[in-house]
Structures are given as C-alpha cells and as structure tokens.
C-alpha cells in the first residue's frame, strides 16, 4: 500500500474545505430545511437563454470553443466594456466561470513569496488560490462595519506586495464599498505599481447605488465578472475577464493549458442573455433583502448590504459552532462566518430563496436569538 500522504503536494496543506463539509454533513438528514445557505439565485435561467442553449446544441455547436471565447459572445462583451471604460488597452476574454478567471489571474501574476492583500471577511476561494500559487495572504479586517480603511491598506503594503483583491458587491457581507473607498484603493494600487483584481460577479445585483468598477479609477485593473449569478447560469461556467492586453494574453496562455475554454453552447446562450432585461429579478431581490432586514432588526445587528444576496448578521450569543448547531436543531441551514473570516462573530444568510422560505427563516432566526441554549 503506497504512503499516499507522501504523494500529496505541499501546496494542498495551506487550506481546507472541512468547515463547509462539516456543516453540510450536520444538515444532511434535515427534511424540508429552511435553507438559507446556498449562494445561487433561486430563479431559473430565463426562457430565452435556455432556448438559445438548446438551439446551439441542436445546431452542432458542441465542440471546443476558441480559447479566448466565441466571437458571438466575446465581441459583444468587448463592445460593452469599451463603451463603459474607453480604455486604450483593455482586452477581454471568456473564461470558465469567474472562479476560473480568478485562478488564472493569480497563476499569471503571483510568484512564490509574493503577498496578496484582500479584505476580511472574504470569499472562501481567495486564500486557497493564493496558497496554491505559493503566495502569502495578507488580510485586512473591515470589522465591525465592513468599510475599507485606506490607511490600513497603506500600512499592509510591503516590497513583496504584488496584488490587491477587491470584491464588490461582497460575498459574504453583501456590502458595496463606496465610490470613495473604491477610488482610494484603485488609485493606491496604480501609484504603487500593484496589480488590482476586482471581483465583480455580483455587479448586476446592486440595490441602492449604481455599481462602480475599480477600473473606472485604475486602467490597469483586472476585472472579473460572469453570467452565473445574474442569469442563474451557475452550472454553465461562463465568466469573462478584461484588463491590459499583456496580462490577458498571459492568462489566456494558462487557460489554454488548464481549462481550455468555457463550454461553447453556454457561450451562445450567454450572448442571448445579454439581451434579457433582468431588472425585475433585481427588484425582487431588493425586496427580499428589505424584508429580511426588517424582520431581523430587533434581534440581530446587521450592516445593511447594498448588493449581492447575502446578509452577514452578528451572532446574538455564543460562537459560530454553537449557533449553527442550534440552527440545525431548528431545521435551518446557514453558514458560519468563520468560513469567510479569521473572526468567529457572524454568520451568513443567503436570501436567494422563495418568499415563503424567507418568512420561515425570519421566524426561526428570531426564535433562536431570543432563546439561547442553556
């Protein structure tokens, strides 16, 4: 019998996914749970988009796509980006989901020992992909209100700083940094010659103010976005990246030898999706957010999110483990905040669920807050 532990690469030891697996293992036996844990829309892919996917399949568009993306989608996206930013040097390509785009950005830029700054709480993939590239995570706390303090960012920069990752709207908090915060980070990265990656997968889900991209203030920003959240195409793996040509060409080289391409039929569907009016869906999610905030305001401390479809309430008592166990005992699934953070003071709710589930969730969460275990 081989000693399998000797086969496993050292790069895998710097991160794990046991926290998420443990939570789902605990919840596996729940029947008809109040599931506020899933980070994907509860609506289906719009009919016109599904029809275009079927049409593409039936017309035989099932082979490899061009690594940079099919012209039907890539050129449409490029025109939109050119219109928005007007940068002389901003090239776009289609990637295999935004997660694929993030991974390519890190592999294309981070050498062993390079430091990557990002903000806590954070999307769970950030530390893992940095570790896989041999980089070092430098986390900047945004507690208690999840605002960015530019002085903390300046203090965190060292000669080894290679990248800053900005996520707006944020997963897990739903917070949208202000225009001033985004501008400050973007200009600082530009002045210091630091690569700025802006993760904008929730860009269409903003409720109170228009979405602002860091590329507005820094023309060298790598922007990553996609179709998964906006059009409920999470399983179709279509994202896109845009930024300076030299960086995009390097990322494409890596894509060619890893993901190869995003699925061709889904790219034809993505082109059709760009013509679908999603504003009713966004309005629906704003109403869901507002209902959750109103229903929980007397029992939970919550920083009001401006986008995405998450709340990140402060624990009313105890720690993440005890709270999650109590939630599961009440047939509810939420995500402990320490999966997204070095802190263990909050938990994540996804309100991308049916309104009836939201009502059940509010009732149960309020009951849990008012009745801590003895």
Tell me the pLDDT tens digit for each residue of 155-173. Answer: 999 999 999 999 999 999 9
Same domain? For 118 and 248 the reply is: yes
Same domain? For 104 and 171 the reply is: yes
**pLDDT score for 27:** 63
Q: Helix, strand, coil % (nearest 5) of the chain? A: 45, 15, 45
Same domain? For 71 and 134 the reply is: yes
Query: pLDDT-based confidence at 338, cuts 50/70/90?
Result: very high
Tell me whether residue 51 is in a domain.
no
Comparing C-alpha atoms, which of 267, 230, 235, 262 is closest to residue 96? 262
SS3 347: strand
Q: Vertex 59, ends 57 and 60: CA angle to 5°? A: 65
- CA–CA separation, 65 vs 159, rounded Å? 40
Average pLDDT over residues 338-359: 96
Q: Is the pLDDT of residue 191 over 80?
A: yes
**pLDDT score for 47:** 95
Average pLDDT over residues 182-187: 98
φ and ψ at 3, to 5 degrees? -85, 90
Same domain? For 286 and 267 the reply is: no
Task: Supply the pTM of this predicted model.
Answer: 0.93
Please report where in the chains the tokens 């940079």 appear, as a residue. 68
Tell me whether residue 187 is in a domain.
yes
Same domain? For 304 and 236 the reply is: no
Q: Is the pLDDT of residue 305 over 70?
A: yes
Q: Is the pLDDT of residue 97 over 70?
A: yes
- CA–CA separation, 100 vs 119, rounded Å? 20
Q: Which of 14-18, 221-225, 247-251, 358-362 has the lowest mean pLDDT?
A: 14-18
**pLDDT score for 24:** 67
**pLDDT score for 309:** 95
**pLDDT score for 15:** 75
Tell me whether residue 224 is in a domain.
yes
Helices assigned H by DSSP within 97-227: 97-109, 125-132, 150-156, 179-192
Q: DSSP secondary-structure letter at 366? A: H
**pLDDT score for 23:** 65
Percent of the chain with pLDDT over 90: 87
**pLDDT score for 31:** 82
Same domain? For 81 and 152 the reply is: yes
Same domain? For 240 and 330 the reply is: no
CATH of the domain at 120: 3.40.640.10
Domain boundary among 223, 242, 273: 273
Domain count, the chain: 2
Domain boundary among 249, 273, 297: 273
To the nearest 10°, report the CA torsion of 96, 183, 89, 199: 0
Same domain? For 100 and 228 the reply is: yes
CB 64, CB 264: distance < 8 Å: yes
Range of the domain at 188: 63-273
Query: pLDDT-based confidence at 1, cuts 50/70/90?
Result: low
Q: Is the pLDDT of residue 336 over 80?
A: yes
Return the beta strands (E) in 149-249 as ranges: 161-167, 195-199, 222-226, 239-243
**pLDDT score for 22:** 67
Same domain? For 283 and 297 the reply is: yes
Same domain? For 254 and 118 the reply is: yes
Tell me whether residue 88 is in a domain.
yes
φ and ψ at 133, to 5 degrees? -90, -5
φ and ψ at 119, to 5 degrees? -105, 140
Token pair, residue 19, equals 């926290």
Domain boundary among 273, 304, 336: 273
Tell me whether residue 50 is in a domain.
no
Token pair, residue 158, equals 């060292």
Say which residues have a Cβ less than 8 Å from residue 40's Cβ, sequence separation at least 6: 228, 229, 232, 234, 352
Same domain? For 25 and 97 the reply is: no
Top pLDDT among 8 and 168 is at 168
**pLDDT score for 11:** 83
**pLDDT score for 7:** 86
**pLDDT score for 241:** 98
Same domain? For 120 and 199 the reply is: yes
């Amino acid at each position: 019998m081989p000693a399998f532990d000797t086969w496993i690469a050292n790069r895998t030891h710097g991160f794990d996914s046991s926290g998420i697996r443990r939570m789902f293992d605990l919840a596996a036996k729940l029947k008809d749970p109040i599931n506020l844990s899933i980070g994907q829309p509860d609506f289906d892919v719009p009919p016109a988009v599904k029809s275009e996917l079927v049409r593409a399949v039936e017309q035989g568009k099932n082979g490899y796509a061009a690594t940079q993306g099919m012209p039907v989608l890539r050129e449409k996206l490029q025109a939109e980006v050119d219109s928005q930013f007007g940068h002389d040097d901003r090239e776009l390509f289609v990637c295999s989901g935004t997660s694929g785009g993030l991974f390519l950005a890190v592999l294309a830029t981070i050498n062993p020992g390079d430091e990557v700054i990002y903000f806590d709480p954070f999307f769970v993939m950030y530390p893992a992909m940095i570790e896989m590239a041999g980089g070092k995570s430098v986390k900047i706390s945004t507690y208690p209100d999840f605002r960015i303090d530019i002085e903390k960012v300046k203090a965190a920069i060292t000669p080894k700083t290679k990248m800053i990752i900005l996520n707006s709207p944020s997963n897990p908090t739903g917070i949208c940094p202000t225009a001033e915060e985004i501008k400050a980070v973007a200009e600082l990265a530009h002045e210091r010659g630091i690569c700025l990656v802006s993760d904008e997968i929730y860009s269409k889900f903003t409720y109170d103010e228009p979405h602002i991209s860091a590329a507005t203030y820094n023309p060298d920003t790598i922007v990553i976005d996609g179709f998964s959240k906006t059009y409920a195409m999470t399983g179709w793996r279509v994202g896109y990246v845009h930024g300076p040509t030299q960086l995009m060409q390097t990322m494409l080289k890596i894509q060619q030898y890893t993901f190869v391409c995003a699925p061709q039929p889904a790219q034809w569907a993505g082109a059709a999706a760009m013509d679908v009016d999603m504003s009713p869906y966004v309005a629906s999610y704003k109403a869901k957010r507002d209902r959750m905030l109103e229903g929980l305001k007397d029992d939970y401390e919550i920083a009001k999110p401006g986008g995405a479809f998450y709340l990140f309430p402060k624990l009313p008592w105890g720690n993440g483990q005890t709270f999650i166990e109590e939630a599961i005992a009440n047939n509810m699934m939420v995500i402990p905040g320490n999966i997204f953070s070095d802190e263990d003071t909050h938990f994540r709710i996804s309100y991308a669920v049916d309104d009836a589930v939201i009502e059940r969730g509010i009732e149960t969460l309020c009951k849990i807050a008012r009745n801590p275990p003895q």
